[in-house]
Structure 1
């Protein structure tokens, strides 16, 4: 199946079959794919937490707003987090990078201030999200990116003082009755001429 075929069939899953779990071999593949995600200057300012434990999922579900059922029924929840602040990035990540990248950071990004640095770091985590959603679809796994969560409560449950939650992704296998799947609810996208420009 071509990537275009996958893109046409992939959708945001609204209802999961709680009886179907992703096997551990596939989970390990997804972990490695996330580890290999691209980022500007190879900054890698992230942490990815895979949650399969039903008790932890249940606790997270209480702070998942309209996504509660997805968190409960999906096979796994993957939480995408960013390093907590610019200083932590500089002390723990930046020093691992080659000199030419640290020079770029110090000359171009650092003068913009901590707020702009955190915006830039957060953008890198969103790059990994696109990479991950494509990977899950390629492996025949359904997914739901979720920003509609209480990130502070997620942080309290995850207990990682060095990172802060940005969003989560439910992964698993769709319920046959999920009304959002393209066979029941055709995918809507703007026409190419509205979003693609060739010069």
Structure 2
């Protein structure tokens, strides 16, 4: 895994002729789905954009960044604009289904979640949800590296324009993640990775 993480980089130019297998994409999506989130709520969704026309429109809203159209796969993370009782209720039902527990035993947990989320403004909630999405993003990046698949996490796009193109109403686009295989013309693949030393990064108290 250490070698895989050293190998990966934010790919700038993809080979559009090389495609990620559906089997590998499912592994990546399952890894993202396995990421931990506060309360286990998973307050984000993934949009996998396959339409060439949509990808062209999204590239225009991404300052013409080529990975949006040239990478094999494009995933967009969206977060909920609100987390009302319907969202929490759906999560409780899922717990009951998976763990085979009585709903009544979850009442305190449910009240705790509702109480905490109820103190957040709309902007604070979107920020909180976005933090959860970043955890999923990290899991996707690591799984891709493990599989020898290139990836590019992106924040440089017009989020409101994405919402408009994707016809989002209750959700808001916050992150873009592309997967594929690097082009031989992408010279950044030869750059040495620059990171802090562990001594610079870690403080021991």
| TM-score calculated relative to the size of structure 1 | 0.88
SS, match of residue 28 in structure 2: helix
**Separation of aligned partners in 2, 1:126 and 1:25:** 23
Equivalent residue for 1:75?
72
**Separation of aligned partners in 1, 2:23 and 2:12:** 25
**Separation of aligned partners in 2, 1:108 and 1:22:** 40
* Cα RMSD, aligned residues only: 1.7
Equivalent residue for 1:50?
48
Equivalent residue for 2:85?
91
Equivalent residue for 1:105?
113
Aligned residues: 191
**Separation of aligned partners in 2, 1:140 and 1:116:** 36
- Aligned partners of 2:78 and 2:172 also within 8 Å: yes
Matched, 1:194 2:191: no
Equivalent residue for 1:36?
34
Residue 109 of structure 1 deviates from its aligned partner by 4.2
SS, match of residue 65 in structure 1: coil
- Aligned partners of 2:88 and 2:114 also within 8 Å: no
- Cα deviations across residues 143-176 of structure 1 (Å, max 9, x unaligned)? 1111001111111121232211001011110001
SS, match of residue 151 in structure 2: strand
- Cα deviations across residues 41-85 of structure 1 (Å, max 9, x unaligned)? 001111101112222211111111152x11121111100000122
**Separation of aligned partners in 1, 2:194 and 2:136:** 24
- Aligned partners of 1:63 and 1:149 also within 8 Å: yes
- Aligned partners of 2:81 and 2:122 also within 8 Å: no
**Separation of aligned partners in 2, 1:159 and 1:10:** 33
- Aligned partners of 1:6 and 1:137 also within 8 Å: yes
CA 1:144/1:9 → structure 2, altered by over 3 Å: closer, same or farther? Answer: same
Structure 2: gaps (5+ residues):
93-105
SS, match of residue 190 in structure 1: coil
The runs of 4+ residues in structure 1 deviating greater than 6 Å are none
Equivalent residue for 1:178?
186
- Aligned partners of 1:110 and 1:117 also within 8 Å: no
SS, match of residue 192 in structure 2: coil
| TM-score calculated relative to the size of structure 2 | 0.85
Structure 1: gaps (5+ residues):
none
